[in-house]
Each structure stands twice: as structure tokens, then as C-alpha cells.
């Protein structure tokens, strides 16, 4: 076993297997097997995070790239990512790392203290956990975020929000801002297109709001997947009815990627229609992205 591996939080022994309790997939993982996110493995009856301390990407980004439009504009952040994702979106822009197993991509050796020191050395006021699904490398995210807060550095989570309630509530006090994808407002689409479910994502939005994290939402508009006006109306109404009318909403344009290279970019009139619908339904801060 690699000595760098970190035993996971949030799992139970289940006979010869382990049951991960980090996300709603609840993977039952046999000896020597990894969970669906590929970053958590049963070794000798214990669940280990394979990627702890091994980010595959480290970059200096403008905060607007996350995207965050209404939180510390004009500042920059240290973006980090490890391999791993618990969704299977065929349009993923970062599939090279999100859908890779640990070891398939080059990675760094960086403890949480190293990441905090890097942010300080480069005078970056914020660390962003981003590019893949940070919640699947929860132990590294949590350790880094707590140390960052001790050092007076902000933490930003960029995520699809498909996580169980207990880990999210544990992490939220250390988050300053989050951008969460709301990929559609259809459980069927979440199940078949993203290999996830809608309800846990909605719960994540409400918990982050309740716990005082600055929240922005991203909806990537994909022709034929989430361009239905009725579905969009339900989404915007849900936001308003749940106190999220003031939450900045980023409607971003799809471009062909990963398994959807043959699809067309979102027509601009679809973008404008969604923007008009959101505003008509009372969403106050709507931003169009990638246009």
C-alpha cells in the first residue's frame, strides 16, 4: 500500500466489503475494488482515498473563471484538482482528469500545508477546489480547507453538489463561496445523462444557503437536454420559492466536448430565451457565460 494513502472518512464495514457514505451512490466496494468515482479503494477491508496529497492540476485563475460573479471580483485564486468524479456527464470539459483513475494522469506531491504555503507564496487570497469533483477527494479538500482557514485564506468549492448531507455540513463552515452546477430540473435527465439524481443536488443548494456560504449556481445549457422551457420554468420557480432568487445564476453555453463532439454549440437564441425566462420568473442576477 502506498504510504501516502489516507483512510477515508464516511464509510462502514459491510461484511467482506465497505460501504462508502460520502455521496448518494453509496458504493458497496469489495476488496481491491474502487468506487464509482475511482478515487476511493477498499484495501484490506478499509476504504482509502487514493488521491490524498496528489493533485493532478494546480493553476492560478481569476475568480470569475469559477465562475463567481459576485464574490471578491477582480481577485485570483489557487485552483487545485485531483482525479475523480462521481458523475458521468458525456459533455464533460475536463474528462481527461475527471474520468481518470489515480495514476493515469501525472500528479504532484503536495500536502495540505504545501497547498496553503503555495497560496501564501503567490499572494493568492483564495484556494478553489475545482475542475473535477472535489467532493470525491473529500479528505484532501477538508484538510486543506481547514488549514487554509487557519491561515486566513478563503475556500471556494466548484462542484456538482452530489454529496451526502453529513460530509457537506462538516465542510460548509470552512467554505466561503461555492458554485454548484444545477444541470437540469429533471430527475430522469440527472439519472440518464449525468448518472446522478436531482434531489441531493437541491438539498446541497439549500444547505449551503442555510449555512451562510456565498452561493452561485451554474446551468450549462445543452440543446435537447435542458432547453425545454417548461423544465426551465420549474427550475427558476423552485429557486425563487426556496429563497434563491438573489443567488447569481450563470447560464453557460455548451460547446462540443468528450462524448458529445458531434453536437452543436448552444444557439445564442436559446441562451437569450433562458435568460429572459429566468428574469421573468424573478431570478435577479443572471449571467450568460461562454457567449
| Cβ atoms of 135 and 164 closer than 8 Å | no
Residue 86 C-beta: closest distance to ligand SF4, Å? 4
Q: Is 61 helix (H, G, I), strand (E, B) or coil?
A: strand
Chain-centroid distance, C-alpha 256: 20
CA angle 270, 276, 279 (to 5 degrees): 140
CA atoms within 13 A on the CB side of 196: 27
| Least Cβ distance, residue 51 to ligand SF4 (angstroms) | 11
Retrieve residue 153's grid coordinates: 485564506
26 binds ligand SF4, rule: CB under 6 A: yes
What is the edge-to-edge ordering of all strands in the sheet holding 46-49?
Answer: 6-7, 46-49, 40-43
Does 35 sit near ligand SF4 (CB under 6 A)?
Answer: yes
Contact between 167 and 138 (Cβ < 8 Å) = yes
Q: How far is the CB of 15 from ligand SF4 (least distance, A)?
A: 17
CA distances from 107 to 1, 3, 58, 197 (A): 18, 16, 9, 30
Nearer to ligand SF4, 33 or 290 (CB): 33
Residues 6+ apart with CB under 8 A from 188: none
E strand or H helix that includes residue 287? strand 286-289
105 Cβ contact list (under 8 Å, min separation 6): 56, 83, 96, 97
In this structure, the number of other CB atoms found within 10 A of the CB of residue 264 comes to: 11
* 89 annotated to bind ligand: yes
Site size for ligand SF4 (CB under 6 A): 12
Residue 37 found at the interface with ligand SF4 (CB under 6 A): yes
247 among annotated binding-site residues: no
Q: Under the criterion CB under 6 A, does residue 82 sit at the interface with ligand SF4?
A: no
85 part of the interface to ligand SF4, by CB under 6 A = no
Does 25 bind ligand SF4 (CB under 6 A)? Our answer is yes
| Residue 20 sits in the site that holds ligand SF4 (CB under 6 A) | yes
Helix axes 112-121, 138-150, angle to 10 degrees: 50
> Considering beta carbons, is residue 202 or 251 the nearer one to ligand SF4?
202
Residue 51 or 116: the one with the smaller Cβ distance to ligand SF4 is: 51
Q: Which stretch binds ligand SF4 (CB under 6 A): 21-29, 52-60, 97-105, 196-204?
A: 21-29
Q: Applying CB under 6 A, does 23 fall inside the site for ligand SF4?
A: yes
Is 92 within any annotated ligand binding site?
yes
Query: Does 136 engage in binding with ligand SF4 (CB under 6 A)?
Result: yes
Which residue in the set 18, 40, 102, 177 belongs to the binding site for ligand SF4 (CB under 6 A)? 40
Span interacting with ligand SF4, options 22-30, 62-70, 151-159, 250-258, rule CB under 6 A: 22-30
147 touches 118 (CB < 8 A)? no
Span near ligand SF4 by CB under 6 A; candidates 19-27, 114-122, 196-204, 243-251 = 19-27
Residues that bind ligand SF4 (CB under 6 A): 20, 22-23, 25-27, 35-37, 40, 86, 136
From the annotation, which residues make up the binding site for [4Fe-4S] cluster? 85, 89, 92
Amino acid at each position: 500500500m502506498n504510504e501516502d494513502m489516507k483512510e477515508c472518512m464516511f464509510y462502514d464495514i459491510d461484511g467482506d466489503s465497505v460501504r462508502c457514505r460520502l455521496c448518494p451512490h453509496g458504493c458497496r466496494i469489495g476488496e481491491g475494488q474502487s468506487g464509482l468515482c475511482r478515487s476511493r479503494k477498499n484495501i484490506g477491508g478499509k476504504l482509502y482515498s487514493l488521491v490524498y496529497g496528489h493533485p493532478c492540476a494546480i493553476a492560478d485563475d481569476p475568480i470569475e473563471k469559477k465562475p463567481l460573479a459576485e464574490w471578491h471580483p477582480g481577485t485570483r485564486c489557487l485552483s487545485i484538482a485531483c482525479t475523480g468524479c462521481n458523475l458521468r456527464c458525456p459533455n464533460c470539459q475536463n474528462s481527461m482528469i475527471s474520468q481518470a483513475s489515480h495514476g493515469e494522469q501525472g500528479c504532484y506531491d503536495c500536502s495540505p500545508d504545501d497547498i496553503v504555503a503555495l497560496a501564501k507564496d503567490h499572494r493568492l487570497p483564495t484556494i478553489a477546489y475545482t475542475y473535477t469533483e472535489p467532493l470525491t477527494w473529500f479528505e484532501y479538500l477538508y484538510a486543506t480547507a481547514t488549514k487554509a482557514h487557519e491561515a486566513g485564506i478563503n475556500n471556494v468549492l466548484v462542484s456538482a453538489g452530489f454529496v451526502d448531507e453529513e460530509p457537506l455540513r462538516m465542510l460548509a463552515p470552512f467554505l466561503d463561496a461555492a458554485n454548484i452546477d444545477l444541470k437540469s430540473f429533471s430527475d430522469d435527465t440527472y439519472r440518464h445523462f449525468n448518472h446522478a439524481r436531482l434531489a441531493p443536488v437541491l438539498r446541497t443548494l439549500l444547505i449551503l444557503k442555510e449555512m451562510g456560504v456565498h452561493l452561485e449556481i451554474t446551468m450549462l445549457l445543452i440543446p435537447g437536454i435542458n432547453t425545454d422551457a417548461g423544465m426551465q420554468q420549474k427550475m427558476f420557480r423552485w429557486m425563487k420559492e426556496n429563497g434563491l432568487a438573489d443567488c447569481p445564476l450563470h447560464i453557460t453555453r455548451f460547446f462540443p466536448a468528450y462524448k458529445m463532439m458531434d453536437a452543436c454549440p448552444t444557439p445564442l437564441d436559446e441562451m437569450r430565451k433562458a435568460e429572459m425566462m429566468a428574469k421573468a420568473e424573478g431570478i435577479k442576477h443572471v449571467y450568460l457565460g461562454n457567449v
